[in-house]
Chains A and B, each alone.
Chain A
């Protein structure tokens, strides 16, 4: 059998011998490349921190995610406690992170720290998963979690409620800035999973009617410290 890789690549090279004209645009899509934010035609991400936080608040509300602003770690712990009580949580999964662990450990219900080789079935039975995140994107209301910073791949998707605890300085303006931050932070060693979470899990597959909690969390809480 001939090598499929070399055969496909040579088919491609053969096909591309005839050049297709570069698309012609009325305007230059690259924008002002000198500026840091060179995509002034995408949705706005907010120029100042105040603008970003306003945008984030608005976007999360539209996405039916719950944003809770708190001044410090103690208040974050209280906020988490009151959600746990209101929702009658029995078991909460979390991962060890300086923002997350102290808040969860103060809860009165059963707590379970997700470490290597955990039982999937046990995680599925948890009422909530509490994680930190890599960044929050104001432009879209997206929370970026990773397999490194957020307790692996399952913790933010398998339990029925997802709570993110983050600090205000993790809020970035837009996707573009977020990508360059990620490349700068992780370099060649990117986490095996980076996931932008934009609101609680949803579907419109039945008559295009919105239902939350299709397969992932039905509720998403963001506790923002600072």
Chain B
């Protein structure tokens, strides 16, 4: 059993048994469902909008090399600088170099899951820089020393009392029970940090090839401040975020908002096409974009699951997933949680170590129904299970399938086996069986029929 799997099983079991926490998460998601449905109803045809969104991403991803080259040419003609990173280490080195060259001391960050993916904060702190997460949820998680629980709602599992205690401990503020006051504490604390920071780091939700702009979606305004006040703006993006035309965003931005948070449009959707231009009164002097592969091209090489690169990271699949709702986001142990995380993590970090996530699914298909870009998520979980079985089957799988093959291809042996099983079942039900006892703890084994199916068939008129 892989180490990741062991941790997953332990964490998932604990989380699933925490009733009050599950109620808390479901209550938080209840508001999301209501708002999402109101906003979906404002689309004149949500299903056709999904078609269009999925097509826009398909066109870019299936022509990725050309689309990226167009984007990069345009981006650099606007005055920005592109850096390519084959993996997480290369991306960290590039960013450290840029920050060192800027003679920077303080770095302010807006929410960016790709920086979580490459563990940027650790690298920056080891190099002696102070790094502050400015998104409220990420700020809280940073103070807690914990990874984000959900890649859109990072601290949705934390209660206000805990946040109040956290702020008292780290910021020395008075205890309060009001989300409003807690938000204002963070606002006051972070404002000065934007003004003082030399470097601002952001992610990117979309890269627009037609215009060379990067698009950032956020609600709080922290990304706007991060890209406005520091001298240097560095953005990190996966190579799959590119779309061909600016007009593609007229579909993708409202869909991201509705699927992701039940909003008509996220509060700030900002397109950046370079550093401060002549005639503009502020903005960074330098604008860098780091384009990250980090095994995305491996996922691209699998035509069956290539559409998982269409993901716009809205988090809709997490919000409807019965597994996520029961085990929460931390148990996954991944940057990307929920169904999309279970699909892509084995590609990004190794099928053998991460295949167990594809088993943590009821295959109900709620994720596939929720996905605004129509990624075939629950089938991809099956594809991962199949691929894992083909490339590295477990000893149990190998023995089981060999035995099954042996018996099923010998009709007499099969019939004999069936008879033995029917007679011994009442006894078997009384003794605890290895492997089966966990399953049977909450389920009843049905009684065996008096006759086998083949006998019943023979006795009926068909025989």
Contact = CB atoms under 8 A, between A and B. Distances in A.
B163 interface: yes
Contacts of B272: 192-193
Interface string A188-219: 00111111111111111111110101111100
Interface in B182-208: 182-184, 186-187, 190-191, 195
A102 interface: no
A86 interface: no
A22 B390 CA distance: 27
A190 to B, nearest CB: 5
Interface stretch (B260-268, B357-365, B434-442): B260-268
Identify which of B85, B224, B301 gathers the most chain A CB atoms within 10 Å of its CB.
B224
B250 interface: yes
Interface string A77-120: 00000000000000000010000000000000000001111101
Interface stretch (A4-12, A46-54, A67-75, A163-171): A4-12
Interface of B: 28-29, 31-32, 42-49, 51-52, 54-55, 58, 62-65, 68-69, 78-79, 84-86, 90, 134-137, 140, 153-156, 158-160, 163, 179-180, 182-184, 186-187, 190-191, 195, 211, 213, 219-222, 224-225, 227-229, 239, 246-247, 249-251, 253-254, 261, 263-277, 279-283, 287, 291, 293, 297-298, 300-301, 303-304, 306-307, 374
Nearest to B246: A179
15 contacts: A8-B86, A9-B68, A27-B48, A40-B45, A42-B49, A147-B283, A175-B249, A175-B253, A176-B247, A205-B136, A205-B154, A206-B155, A211-B183, A215-B191, A215-B225
B250 A16 contact: no
Given A152-B282, A194-B271, 8 more contacts: A4-B85, A12-B64, A14-B297, A15-B297, A152-B228, A195-B268, A196-B270, A216-B221
Contacts of A61: none
Interface of A: 4-5, 7-9, 11-16, 18-23, 25-27, 29-31, 39-44, 59, 62-63, 95, 114-118, 120-121, 124, 140-142, 147-148, 151-154, 157-158, 174-176, 178-180, 182-183, 190-209, 211, 213-217
Contacts of A211: 179-180, 183
Contacts of B247: 176, 179-180
B153 A16 contact: no
Given A118-B282, A192-B280, A214-B136, A4 B84 contact: yes
A196 B223 CA distance: 13
Nearest to B307: A20
A179 to B, nearest CB: 5
A141 B307 CA distance: 32
Contact of B134 (A19, A183, A215): A215
Contacts of A214: 136, 183, 186-187, 219-222
A11 B273 contact: no
A198 B269 contact: yes
B163 to A, nearest CB: 6
A7 B29 CA distance: 43
A61 B372 CA distance: 27
B225 A157 contact: yes
Contacts of B28: 207-208
A201 B374 contact: no
B311 to A, nearest CB: 15
Contacts of A204: 153, 219, 261
A8 B270 contact: no
A178 B254 CA distance: 14
Given A148-B280, A198-B266, A208-B153, A41 B160 contact: no
A204 B160 CA distance: 12
A207 B51 contact: no
- Chain A interface mostly: loop
Contacts, number: 291
A4 B297 contact: no
A208 B34 CA distance: 13
B309 to A, nearest CB: 10
B258 to A, nearest CB: 9
Nearest to A18: B303
Given A41-B48, A208-B156, A202 B190 contact: no
Nearest to A200: B267
B205 to A, nearest CB: 13
> Which 4 residue pairs across A and B have the least CB separation, nearest first?
A216-B221, A41-B45, A214-B220, A153-B228
Nearest to B269: A196
Nearest to A2: B86
Nearest to A188: B77
Nearest to A217: B221
Contact of A153 (B51, B154, B224, B293): B224
Contact of A141 (B69, B264, B275): B264
B265 A141 contact: yes
Given A8-B239, A194-B270, A208 B224 contact: no
B62 A16 contact: yes
A198 B265 contact: yes
Contacts of B306: 20
Contacts of B84: 4-5, 8
Contacts of B153: 204-205, 208
Contacts of A27: 47-48, 51
Contact of B62 (A20, A180, A213): A20
Contacts of A120: 195, 229
A153 to B, nearest CB: 4
A151 B221 contact: no
B374 A23 contact: yes
B55 A206 contact: no
Contacts of B249: 175, 179
A174 B62 contact: no
Contacts of A154: 225, 228-229, 282
A40 to B, nearest CB: 6
